[in-house]
Chain A
């Protein structure tokens, strides 16, 4: 308990506010304490100095006042003595008259005692003591001095009283007598002097006994005290006298200092009274300090509160952020540093909130199209399936894959590809309802989640999507066709979990692609085919290394010469388990996966090598090799590979002909054109395969550096049944010739077809009518005199080797 309380105290001490308050209070106590010490000390010193000064000044003033008083009295006496009536009265020599005029005129100047002395220093009249008449004037020295100076004065003691005695001559106009005017030094004079000097004034005298006080401004009891304190000839021993228990700063002004007669004025200032203003200052300083301390403590508390409160608030806000609550801003009270901190904190909070939103967006949104991404789609799908399980809503998943999108990316660049994807996403999104979820799963793959609608809804939606994509995309002013393969899977029917539905839709999508249909609804049978396809793809990779691929050669008959002038190399896969797999079963997939390039390189190398072998044995046949659009895009790499293979086989380039499908040329016309030019420069002949299936104009063909056109087998096979086909074949041949190209017809199976082709002037023909594709050895045998004729082949049309 005690330790906890101690800990609490320590914690309080450690708090910022407490520290600030303590610091300021300690600082003020120190500074004020030091100040107070210095002030009080200086104060005391100044007080003593001031008192000393005051006394000194008082003493000076006193002396001057005394001198002035004396001068005033002397002047008064002088005027009085010059008064004609006064002189006249004195001159009468009548004692009664003289006493009367002395009293009368003495009263005029305020003299207490008037004495008249003859020129011989004998008292002739005295207003106080008639007994003095006839006696010698008590102060002959004054008369003497007055004889010289015209007037004289002194402090005298008479009957224990102190007087200022002024002696002046009575002039008529020569001195005829001396008149003495005595002014009593009494309490009133002391009081007057006190008022002017600010000092206590006491007059004291000493003849033979102790000091006696005659007049004073002090109270009666203090007079007794002062009298007791006066000692010695100078009056006091020290400047500080203790009078009646009170301290007095004291100065003694000697007025008369004869050994037998000492008169002095004692000037005093009570220490208590003198120091009172300084005590007041000290007291004021003390209270001021105390008030300052209280104010400072209060102020410090307020300031500390002002600092720590916002800091506390910030700390609390930081704790809230730690707990994930970003909603509450810190209240900004002041525009001070802490206020700035709070503002920054709020900005930080806003930053965190917006970044978290952005992170969430990035996590659930596809950056390219702005559509939900795979994760989001998956969540929505899961949610939809959960709802569907409970409520029985119909849920359908559709997967869209752009056809030949890779070609766009590869040929036109990713920027165009990305734009195309954005456009596709946009169109799909617009084609659907708000409630439908459209997402981009990645690459050229989109997904649609239909959470409403009946069993037919997916089909309707698929049609809508196709319709939306019908209009060619125009990117950078270049129109391009975009089609999609759509796979559809329905909840319940094709699975109840999101994963299952996605897989089913995926399978269906591949089925649609394989079958080149607009869309496919999942069917369990797809799974098998797909499985097979995947296996096949895996095996195909091995096939090249394992030597499972072989080349079969199908002869091309020159109709003008009636002999075999070239062969078309066709790849066959001799599968260890499945036997021979036809190209149509693996070439499209190889094209899709990009593995076709490896196959093409192998085929080219192998065919050239074979052609070289034949060439050296005297069998001069041109070798035709199929090249896909993808191969053509390799460009220089393809040209280089061909040239090195030709060199290796020591074969002239003219012995090689590359067959390129029309659709392949159309995918990337500009690239194809460049590559074809390079091939022609090399000396390699080129042929357009399956001519008529694409939409290429002959004008375009003309620009291409090709040597040959191959009319698609579909036209040839349809010649007999449909005159329009025959017309196409015929016009194609004519146009080909007009362009300077030789024309080859493929798929020739009947004599009629052959006859027609001859009639149209076709240059060469290829088909089962002559020979099926066959291995090299078989071809050699077949060529050497039709001894080993394939069934259904006519010997007479076999040309000489």
Chain B
């Protein structure tokens, strides 16, 4: 995963280019002060939502899990669902943001899904009830995911006003967005408190039984 994060960072840097960019240092903790990992943080520029075109992300199925658990994309991003397992998967979503279904397949996903609306898409596999994955679609290119320490960094932000938001798939209550105005080449910390329900472990049969 760290490799993927690193890849993402490189690509993001490449897109933004070098300028008078500001950085947001976001830290998400729960009410007890513990760091909250896998929380999405994004900053909506006051200039309004933006979409992207032709951007593609992969949401893989590895060991009968969606990887990554949470994928954050900008509106207009296209996702593929490569199946890395030796068995078939049937990926679907009934979410209003994007409802789709890719029927039983293996290897490369036979179709792509373009997330054209902001919102949350909950991913499921019709034949593996425990498989769950989330896609947060935001209409801004400035988003990041907290690491294990609950920290996330939004870089290359042009100076301006932003509404910073933190979101987690299992959050008990939505956190209030924070408005920040960034100077050029400034670094600004933002802290969120987000109570998250623990991930409910659903029964997952051991792998060896699936070799057959």
Chain A interfacial positions (CB closer than 8 Å to B) = 82, 84, 87-88, 91, 171-174, 176
Q: Given that A87-B94, A88-B94, A91-B99 are known contacts, is A172 also in contact with B129, CB under 8 Å in the complex? A: no
Among residues of A, the one whose C-beta sits closest to the C-beta of B126 is A84
Contacts of A84 in B (CB 8 A): 92, 126
Contact mask for chain B residues 80-120; partner A; CB cutoff 8 A; 1 contact, 0 none: 00000000000011110001000000000000000000000
Contacts of B94 in A (CB 8 A): 87-88, 91, 172, 176
User: In the complex the two chains form, what is the Cα distance from A171 to B125 in whole Å?
Assistant: 11
Is the interface on chain B under 10, 10 to 19, 20 to 34, or 35 or more residues? 10 to 19
Contact mask for chain B residues 121-158; partner A; CB cutoff 8 A; 1 contact, 0 none: 01011100111100000000000000000000000000
CB-based contact A172/B122 at 8 Å: yes
Among residues of B, the one whose C-beta sits closest to the C-beta of A82 is B129
Among residues of A, the one whose C-beta sits closest to the C-beta of B130 is A173
User: In the complex the two chains form, what is the Cα distance from A173 to B126 in whole Å?
Assistant: 8
Among residues of A, the one whose C-beta sits closest to the C-beta of B127 is A84
Pick 5 A–B contacts, CB within 8 A, sort by A. Answer: A172-B92, A173-B122, A173-B124, A173-B125, A173-B129
User: In the complex the two chains form, what is the Cα distance from A171 to B132 in whole Å?
Assistant: 11
Q: Nearest Cβ in chain A — how far from B14, in angstroms?
A: 35
CB-based contact A171/B99 at 8 Å: no
Q: Which of A88, A91, A174 meets B132, CB within 8 Å?
A: A174
Contacts of A171 in B (CB 8 A): 124, 129
User: In the complex the two chains form, what is the Cα distance from A84 to B129 in whole Å?
Assistant: 11
Contacts of A172 in B (CB 8 A): 92-95, 122, 124
User: In the complex the two chains form, what is the Cα distance from A19 to B90 in whole Å?
Assistant: 100
Chain B interfacial positions (CB closer than 8 Å to A) = 92-95, 99, 122, 124-126, 129-132
Contacts of B132 in A (CB 8 A): 173-174
User: In the complex the two chains form, what is the Cα distance from A185 to B99 in whole Å?
Assistant: 39
Chain B's interface: helix, strand, loop or mixed, by majority? Answer: strand
Among residues of A, the one whose C-beta sits closest to the C-beta of B134 is A174
Contacts of A173 in B (CB 8 A): 122, 124-125, 129-132
Q: Nearest Cβ in chain A — how far from B90, in angstroms?
A: 8
User: In the complex the two chains form, what is the Cα distance from A82 to B92 in whole Å?
Assistant: 13
User: In the complex the two chains form, what is the Cα distance from A172 to B122 in whole Å?
Assistant: 7
Contacts of B129 in A (CB 8 A): 82, 171, 173
Among residues of B, the one whose C-beta sits closest to the C-beta of A176 is B94
User: In the complex the two chains form, what is the Cα distance from A91 to B93 in whole Å?
Assistant: 10
In the A-B complex, list the 3 residue pairs whose CB atoms are closest, starting with the nearest: A173-B124, A91-B94, A172-B94
User: In the complex the two chains form, what is the Cα distance from A174 to B122 in whole Å?
Assistant: 7
Among residues of A, the one whose C-beta sits closest to the C-beta of B90 is A84
User: In the complex the two chains form, what is the Cα distance from A782 to B170 in whole Å?
Assistant: 199
User: In the complex the two chains form, what is the Cα distance from A172 to B92 in whole Å?
Assistant: 8
Further contacts, 6 of them, CB under 8 A, given A82-B129, A91-B99: A88-B94, A171-B129, A172-B94, A172-B122, A174-B124, A176-B94
User: In the complex the two chains form, what is the Cα distance from A174 to B131 in whole Å?
Assistant: 10
Q: Nearest Cβ in chain A — how far from B100, in angstroms?
A: 12
User: In the complex the two chains form, what is the Cα distance from A87 to B94 in whole Å?
Assistant: 8
Among residues of A, the one whose C-beta sits closest to the C-beta of B128 is A173
Q: Nearest Cβ in chain A — how far from B99, in angstroms?
A: 7
User: In the complex the two chains form, what is the Cα distance from A91 to B129 in whole Å?
Assistant: 17
Q: Nearest Cβ in chain B — how far from A97, in angstroms?
A: 13
User: In the complex the two chains form, what is the Cα distance from A708 to B126 in whole Å?
Assistant: 174
Contacts of B99 in A (CB 8 A): 91
- Most B CB contacts (10 A, CB to CB) among A82, A87, A171, A174 go to A174
Q: Nearest Cβ in chain B — how far from A314, in angstroms?
A: 97
User: In the complex the two chains form, what is the Cα distance from A172 to B93 in whole Å?
Assistant: 7
Q: Nearest Cβ in chain A — how far from B102, in angstroms?
A: 13
User: In the complex the two chains form, what is the Cα distance from A88 to B99 in whole Å?
Assistant: 10
User: In the complex the two chains form, what is the Cα distance from A42 to B113 in whole Å?
Assistant: 81
User: In the complex the two chains form, what is the Cα distance from A770 to B54 in whole Å?
Assistant: 217
Contacts of B92 in A (CB 8 A): 84, 172
Among residues of A, the one whose C-beta sits closest to the C-beta of B170 is A174
Q: Nearest Cβ in chain B — how far from A108, in angstroms?
A: 18
Among residues of A, the one whose C-beta sits closest to the C-beta of B132 is A173
Q: Nearest Cβ in chain B — how far from A77, in angstroms?
A: 15
User: In the complex the two chains form, what is the Cα distance from A84 to B126 in whole Å?
Assistant: 7
User: In the complex the two chains form, what is the Cα distance from A173 to B199 in whole Å?
Assistant: 13
Q: Nearest Cβ in chain B — how far from A390, in angstroms?
A: 140
Contacts of B93 in A (CB 8 A): 172
Q: Nearest Cβ in chain A — how far from B96, in angstroms?
A: 8
Q: Nearest Cβ in chain A — how far from B127, in angstroms?
A: 9
User: In the complex the two chains form, what is the Cα distance from A84 to B94 in whole Å?
Assistant: 10
User: In the complex the two chains form, what is the Cα distance from A171 to B126 in whole Å?
Assistant: 11
Among residues of B, the one whose C-beta sits closest to the C-beta of A173 is B124
User: In the complex the two chains form, what is the Cα distance from A595 to B59 in whole Å?
Assistant: 174
User: In the complex the two chains form, what is the Cα distance from A84 to B93 in whole Å?
Assistant: 11
Q: Nearest Cβ in chain A — how far from B172, in angstroms?
A: 13
Q: Nearest Cβ in chain B — how far from A112, in angstroms?
A: 27
User: In the complex the two chains form, what is the Cα distance from A172 to B125 in whole Å?
Assistant: 9
User: In the complex the two chains form, what is the Cα distance from A172 to B97 in whole Å?
Assistant: 13
- Most B CB contacts (10 A, CB to CB) among A82, A87, A173 go to A173
Among residues of B, the one whose C-beta sits closest to the C-beta of A148 is B200
User: In the complex the two chains form, what is the Cα distance from A173 to B95 in whole Å?
Assistant: 10
User: In the complex the two chains form, what is the Cα distance from A172 to B131 in whole Å?
Assistant: 10
Among residues of B, the one whose C-beta sits closest to the C-beta of A88 is B94
User: In the complex the two chains form, what is the Cα distance from A172 to B95 in whole Å?
Assistant: 8
Among residues of B, the one whose C-beta sits closest to the C-beta of A93 is B96
User: In the complex the two chains form, what is the Cα distance from A425 to B130 in whole Å?
Assistant: 142
Contacts of A88 in B (CB 8 A): 94
Among residues of A, the one whose C-beta sits closest to the C-beta of B202 is A173
Contacts of B131 in A (CB 8 A): 173
User: In the complex the two chains form, what is the Cα distance from A174 to B133 in whole Å?
Assistant: 10
User: In the complex the two chains form, what is the Cα distance from A171 to B129 in whole Å?
Assistant: 9
Among residues of A, the one whose C-beta sits closest to the C-beta of B101 is A88
Q: Nearest Cβ in chain A — how far from B101, in angstroms?
A: 8
- Most A CB contacts (10 A, CB to CB) among B94, B122, B131 go to B94
User: In the complex the two chains form, what is the Cα distance from A88 to B126 in whole Å?
Assistant: 11
User: In the complex the two chains form, what is the Cα distance from A509 to B125 in whole Å?
Assistant: 161
Q: Nearest Cβ in chain B — how far from A172, in angstroms?
A: 4
User: In the complex the two chains form, what is the Cα distance from A475 to B108 in whole Å?
Assistant: 154
Q: Nearest Cβ in chain B — how far from A68, in angstroms?
A: 21
User: In the complex the two chains form, what is the Cα distance from A158 to B76 in whole Å?
Assistant: 50
User: In the complex the two chains form, what is the Cα distance from A84 to B92 in whole Å?
Assistant: 10
User: In the complex the two chains form, what is the Cα distance from A173 to B66 in whole Å?
Assistant: 13
User: In the complex the two chains form, what is the Cα distance from A288 to B95 in whole Å?
Assistant: 81
Q: Nearest Cβ in chain B — how far from A98, in angstroms?
A: 13
Q: Nearest Cβ in chain B — how far from A519, in angstroms?
A: 148
Among residues of B, the one whose C-beta sits closest to the C-beta of A170 is B94
Q: Nearest Cβ in chain B — how far from A84, in angstroms?
A: 5
Among residues of A, the one whose C-beta sits closest to the C-beta of B200 is A150
User: In the complex the two chains form, what is the Cα distance from A609 to B10 in whole Å?
Assistant: 199
